[in-house]
Amino acid sequence: MGAEPKVIRLDEIADVLAAHFRGKSEITVYVGSNAATPTASLEALTAAVEERRPGLPFLRMVHLLLQGPVPYVAPGLQDRVMTYSIFSAGEVRAAANEGRAYYLPCTLANLDSLIGKGRRFEPDAVLFKVSRNPFTGEYSMGLSVEALHTAVDNARIVIAELDPSMPFTEGQSVVDASSIDYLIREGVKPVHEIPAPDFDHLPAAERRIGELIAEHFIRDGVTLQVGIGKIPDAVIGSIRSAAYRDLGIQTEIYGDGLMTLQKAGIVTNRKKKVNQGYSTTSLVMGSRELYDFVHMRTGVQMRPSAYTNSAETVRRNSPFVSINTAIGVDLFGNVWADFIELRRYYSGVGGQPDFVRALNDRVHGTPIIAMKSVTEKGQSKIVKHSPPGIGLTASSYDGVVVVTEWGIADLRELTVGGKALALAAIAHPSVREELMRYVLEDPMFTKPFGYRPGATPRGVTLYAGRIPLEES
């Protein structure tokens, strides 16, 4: 197993960094993410920054989504520490919108292009959580593998929190003791938990979306990528009710919903072409029941994001269905998910572009963008054009399938005019007529030959189920 790491206290993290990087003006610190955010270490390091601890270099903190408090993004510390967030929420999102944090756009499949050897953000140090196998003594990255292997392999200093609340996950999560320089045992805060979904009381709009996807795209033996949230939960609930068989999972994040399908025997992973027999994921986040389920379970195995999100792995596991959501879609079929508008940053691109591009030929499967037709404020998510200046997670040429509570718009192999008609047809009734008129009256949207106003456009399947909507 190699040499055991040296045990240190939380308040010694800054001293370790100062000693190892004496004379350096700045260093890059890669931070473990999501449910396995090393919150106690971040708080201890922030305290040292606030105290202007002598010898501590400027810190560039690079990470995906961090759960819990992130104190170093507080106003007034940016001359000593800055965050470079690849995916954000909460305090980090607010800081980025106020100029106190950087948003670093990158898909999960391409993380190594940022932090690999010789790259701009190659880590000098790593902060992350580990669990330990009580029988073998091995360490595991537990709930967050993402790009940690690359970070650990390239960093000069590796500091890990040993967290007894974190499950020991199987697969490529195991890290040798000799790869860890320092271990923190005391004062570690537990992993982040989120409540399990209530499949029996999901909102009507989400349930309609789930029903549409389950009925029209799920078949026995398909491999799934599904995220976390009300719409993915509704899809999973519909799949569970329909009792499909032998589904597989290859996803970037594994939550309670996918666990539910696996416990029910609907997910068996028997039909997968690669990683047959077990679910693969780079992140796990959810309830304590979920964490207990994945603990030492060979049926759920961790892999780096560069593998789970790679086009090659996705295509080899076809037929594949990818289900993601978005902030908006315009009539050209452009999709965006990290910005609400030019000056309102929201989250990050995550792995959505990875799966969309991997499935750009229908022979491999279906990339679905599932979203409610309106925001909580009643604003349409299907609009005439995307906000100027923002990036896109899927472009018009990617050919996605958009699903709202009103129906399905399969944009693959449609012309610009065909895409516009299809999207207008599944928009909310409050804007549908306006959008349809806009498309019909603008000659730039060349209409499909023989199309008659009022007819269902090509690629559209309207909702025909029995779930009523209050707003309808």
Which residues does the annotation mark as catalytic?
252
- Residues 178, 161: Cα–Cα separation, whole Å: 15
Question: Residue 214: which residues within 8 A CB-CB, separation 6 or more?
Answer: 235, 238, 239, 241, 242, 244
CA-wise closest residue to 128 among 145, 108, 111:
145
Identify any residues that bridge with 335 across adjacent strands, giving them in sequence order: 329, 394
Residue by residue, DSSP assigns 63-125 as ESPBPS--GGGSTT-TTTEEEEESS--HHHHHHHHTTSSEE----GGGTHHHHSTTSTT--SE
In the numeric block, the tokens 């396995």 are attached to 36
Task: Decide if 384 contacts 438 (C-beta within 8 A).
Answer: yes
Q: What CA–CA distances, in Å, run from 421 to 13, 47, 81, 208? A: 58, 56, 49, 21
CA geometry: angle 133, 136, 140, nearest 5 deg: 40
In the numeric block, the tokens 């955010």 are attached to 37
In the numeric block, the tokens 């308040």 are attached to 11
- Residues 159, 31: Cα–Cα separation, whole Å: 10
Helix/strand/coil for 415: coil
Q: How many CB atoms lie within 10 A of CB 308?
A: 29
The token pair at 233 is: 């939960």
